[in-house]
């Protein structure tokens, strides 16, 4: 009995009563924390690379698929459709890489200029402090070379999807149908992946990317068909 009383007394000594007199807490007891807290994740950390990857893949898919649909509106042979598509893939990948490279450098110089202007107003232009802040700012930005490579690769991956659907199919109508289906699936996948990684509504993102891609393909097909028809009629 004496031992039990000592244990109870030692336990009571570690108890504290809150200031309002209603709660009793044990300072040695740690608050339970959930093992996985999804709400604490900062999705903004993914903004830079997610934007470049999704934009590159979506641009490659839409531009090459639209190009193939436009050429397919006036030419039915496989070679006539594939050659412009391959040229579009190479030119688009190079353009995306260069654009991302210039964009990252432009962002860096713009933010540096703004930061230096603000620090000049605050502390009279302490060069050492400005240099330290510049290094920190630069380290937070993505590498221009890595961003360019990522954009070129993602563009190429998106562009390859419709190309693979047409390269082995000789029948014109089947080829056009396969390109349309593959482009649609690719658009939905890109919308879903972007929404999942960015924490956005999946269905809304898929619908937005799907409708935007199909609008581009339909406009390209329709305008090419219209221009070809009007040009042909002028010769008769």
Q: What is the pLDDT of residues 117-133, one digit of tens each?
A: 777 777 665 666 666 76
With respect to residue 164, please indicate whether it lies within any of the assigned structural domains.
yes
Q: What residue numbers bound the domain in which 67 lies?
A: 47-102+148-216
Domain count, the chain: 1
Contact status, residue 162 vs residue 68, Cβ threshold 8 Å: yes
Identify whether 28 is part of a domain. no
The answer as to whether 74 is a domain residue is yes
Tell me the pLDDT band of 220, cut-offs 50, 70 and 90: very high
Residue 30 lies in a domain: no
Average pLDDT over residues 146-169: 89
> Is pTM, for the whole model, over 0.85?
no
Percent of the chain with pLDDT over 90: 33
CB 183 within 8 A of CB 65: yes
- In the chain, % of residues over pLDDT 70: 68
Does 150 have pLDDT greater than 80?
Answer: yes
Let me know: does 161 contact 180? Beta carbons within 8 Å.
Answer: no
Cα angle: 70, vertex 75, 78; to 5 degrees: 100
Residue 107 falls inside a structural domain: no
Question: Span 20-31, mean pLDDT?
Answer: 47
- The pLDDT value recorded for residue 131 is 67
Q: What is the largest CA-CA distance in the chain?
A: 116
Say if 13 falls within a structural domain.
Answer: no
Name the token pair of 118: 């603000």
Report if residue 69 sits inside a domain. Answer: yes
Per-residue pLDDT reduced to its tens digit, 26-35: 444 444 444 4
The confidence band for 214, taking pLDDT boundaries of 50, 70 and 90, is very high
Cα–Cα distance list, 180 to 15, 76, 236 (Å): 70, 15, 33
> Is 212 inside any structural domain?
yes
pLDDT of residue 126: 62
């Amino acid at each position: 009995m004496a031992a039990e009383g000592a244990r109870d007394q030692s336990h009571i000594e570690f108890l504290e009563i809150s200031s309002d007199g209603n709660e009793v807490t044990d300072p040695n007891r740690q608050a339970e924390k959930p093992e996985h807290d999804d709400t604490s994740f900062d999705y903004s950390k993914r903004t830079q690379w997610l934007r470049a990857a999704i934009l590159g893949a979506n641009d490659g898919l839409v531009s090459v698929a639209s190009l193939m649909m436009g050429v397919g509106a006036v030419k039915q042979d496989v070679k006539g459709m594939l050659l412009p598509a391959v040229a579009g893939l190479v030119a688009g990948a190079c353009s995306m890489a260069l654009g991302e490279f210039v964009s990252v450098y432009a962002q860096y110089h713009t933010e540096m200029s703004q930061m230096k202007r603000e620090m000049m107003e605050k502390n009279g232009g302490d060069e050492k402090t400005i240099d330290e802040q510049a290094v920190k700012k630069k380290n937070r930005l993505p590498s221009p070379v890595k961003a360019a490579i990522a954009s070129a690769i993602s563009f190429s991956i998106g562009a390859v999807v419709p190309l693979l659907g047409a390269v082995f199919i000789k029948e014109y109508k089947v080829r056009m149908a396969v390109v349309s289906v593959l482009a649609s699936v690719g658009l939905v996948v890109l919308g879903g992946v972007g929404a999942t990684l960015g924490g956005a509504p999946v269905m809304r993102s898929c619908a937005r990317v799907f409708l935007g891609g199909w609008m581009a393909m339909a406009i390209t097909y329709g305008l090419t068909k219209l221009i070809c028809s009007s040009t042909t009629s002028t010769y008769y």
